[in-house]
A and B are shown apart, each in its own frame.
Chain A
């Protein structure tokens, strides 16, 4: 019973105890909730600004908008390089957990070439934090669809639209216009990273490279809202990019095509220049390649094939191909003889077939076995008589010869607006001392007189020198860019041409003599390119050249019927301009495996002239002066 009574007593005590405890508990709860509320106050009021900023940084990103690249046109507005919409795969490396695994998985959905992966890994090393790196360019629709379905599996990978470079003329302008390619680590060091943020391609060769800064434009940016996967949800603000400038080249696409086709695939090069101003009208290097291959990342098989091709299609022969000029230097040297008073136009030389330096036994041969007989300068040019020039340069000496020839631009780059131009070689004592560390020998002077020996010219050099000769001695630096255009709807604005160089001091009568000789080459009955002007309404002046690739090992004369054997040893050259009295186009042609300049290179020049003529608007040329064979040529052979 005692237990029971205590129990009842305890009930009330317990109830009281409970109320105290419940109240204590409630106070503790209120206190804990107050602490929690304090924490919220701390985060939401005291630190609000910081977290608000971080929230904005989370979702708002700046996205660079790469500028559309400027287009490239020929002089008549024919499109040479344009931009086409395409899609590529971009990767934000920071968002990818396991790169190797991701590439494996992705490779099963979209074929990735070894080259793609190689390029990608190279770009990875140089990319900036949280910037996307292109993985595969020019996706086709099938690939885009397949990725879209699997996109969720690849955080950090996205299909991105971009403008891809396109070269509608293909191989025709591969060397002049050049091409773009992915920016390399080396190139990235030399450009303003802000200007190239978001840009994947840069000019690698040709005009694309030379005028890169004009073509590129200025990037804009977009303020975008992204989600946690960095996928863009919407665009908040847009600052559009400024497109690159469009360029107009002096080249005439139809002339270019005619020149290219005239080679019929033979390795060689042709350059046509307007002698009045140095504008390049055509510039081909054969064989060529499709520059579009390089834009999307060329496959290693294609690249190896191009590299290993014995005909070197990647080489731009027009500005980098070095050739012995052979007899094409004769008009320049002959002019020098007159201008420097070593010869008068009427002076003659007896060609017997061999020329001996006094006191030496080695003979320097003429092309004709028994010589051409007694010839003056006009005849010497017409028939390409070596003895005349052996003797002339023997009398001039190497120093005077190289000083004279340097005025025409031999031995140094012409300064054309293309990257990587070769300098060629103008034989001189100094050149030999620097490059061979040897004194000069008199025999070397003699063979320099016919464009052999150390001589190396590039086709553009020869064309430029010829243009200067045709224009009466005013050197114009050859150039391609004639006009630019800002934006899509901008006006075509002419570019100021480079200032002409110092005129080469001369007596116009001397130049007239040389011109007569060159007219005779084409129009004279003993001319080395006789018949070339048949049916052409204007007088063509020119000079052939047949240079030897190797020095002769025997004294025997060539059997002129075995053309194939000759072609292996010879380079065929031709230089010519028209109309002779008012030159508008000067052309230099080199065929690498041509047997004879007159028969192989000259017809190519004629096809260029024909194409050029067809392009001229009526009334822009003087009335035709159709020459009648053979004596109608002004000042032909006597």
Chain B
């Protein structure tokens, strides 16, 4: 009885310490990004080392998690997937019950750490959809698309109820990308997309007042320049006044003089744009594009459906962060709380992102061992 378990543990330990586990191009890009994040944060946080140190500690924690997860084989991950998914959905339900009648309640306080269970779903939802689809005939049939939709809709709906539209969007996108990568037919995609567009006006009355306000504000920020439009106007001023080369590191007036709200978290991209200009923005977007591309390349190398779908979804989700955040700070999209990956100050998002890349690293490391 004990023998197989000990053997498995030994094999696990050996794998953990084997070399060449990591995809160094991707790893270097992530480290570069984290470095850029810390430098930007130092300026955005009014030259506060406290913010930088806190964020660096989170990067270390996330990095450790990345290394740890990269040692777990995708097959193990696949086996644990239903349990992980069920567990994280259960946490969501607990948060929903505990937070009854308290406005926006997202946190689970574990005494030592507080974390948002919704962050877990960013990873467990695509895992579950990939797990659900991997033994099926692909491209998926309507029946399986419906099944996947339920798996995506339950956590996304619970998160949207919190209400945290940004995270719900990211969770939904992560799951949907799995469907897309599984080869779901274009006609079906277009059909469902049309359905969503038609249904969108119907959803309007179900939105919270502040959410509706944000959409209206995006459409016309000057209607209330000192109130709801303030964020967008000041963010656009910050970005626009940066010009091509920017005002220079630590010389952003919009952030340092407090005109730009939340300039260390959701609006840190505006600080970056103000201080480093279009030149810096293009380099940063290039770096993001490289990370997405490299992730998709790793996914394409995988031999197994589950790993492939999961890796591809993680890469594409990463891009959603960038586009939604970038669209928000330039006034293209309404204000939703989506951070700029690895640059915005904030714990759970950085840790869960790095954990996701841990999965990618694992898939990369085990690409030849499966099958």
Contacts and interface: CB of A to CB of B under 8 A. Distances in A.
B120 interface: no
Contacts of A15: 303, 308
Interface residues of A, number: 43
Contact of A55 (B237, B277, B323): B237
Most buried by B among A18, A36, A56, A225: A18
Contacts of B138: 10, 13-14, 17
A22 interface: yes
A362 interface: no
A6 B180 CA distance: 22
A303 interface: no
A13 B138 CA distance: 9
A108 interface: no
B257 A233 contact: yes
A225 B253 CA distance: 10
Contacts, number: 144
Given A37-B285, A229-B258, A26 B293 contact: yes
Given A14-B183, A59-B253, A228 B258 contact: yes
A58 B257 contact: yes
B240 A48 contact: yes
A22 B278 contact: no
Contacts of B236: 43, 51
Contacts of A229: 258
B250 interface: no
Contacts of B238: 55
B322 interface: yes
A48 B241 contact: yes
Interface in B223-247: 234, 236-244
Given A10-B138, A25-B177, A33-B289, A44 B259 contact: no
A19 interface: yes
A32 interface: yes
Given A36-B285, A39-B332, A40-B281, A228 B257 contact: yes
A21 B183 contact: yes
A41 interface: yes
B37 interface: no
A45 B239 CA distance: 10
B248 to A, nearest CB: 14
A44 B273 contact: yes
A8 to B, nearest CB: 11
Contacts of A44: 239-240, 242-244, 273, 277-278, 281
A226 interface: yes
Contacts of B285: 33, 36-37
A26 to B, nearest CB: 5
Interface in A402-460: none
B258 to A, nearest CB: 4
Contacts of A21: 180-183, 312
Residue of A26, A44, A227 ringed by the most chain B CB atoms within 10 A: A44
9 contacts: A25-B177, A30-B289, A32-B323, A40-B273, A43-B330, A44-B240, A45-B278, A52-B243, A228-B259
Interface of B: 137-139, 177, 180-183, 234, 236-244, 253-254, 257-259, 273, 277-278, 281-282, 285, 288-289, 292-293, 296, 299-300, 303, 305, 308-309, 312, 316, 319, 322-323, 326-327, 330, 332
Given A17-B139, A48-B243, A227-B259, 15 more contacts: A10-B137, A14-B138, A15-B308, A23-B296, A29-B293, A30-B289, A39-B332, A40-B278, A41-B278, A43-B330, A48-B242, A51-B241, A54-B237, A58-B259, A228-B257
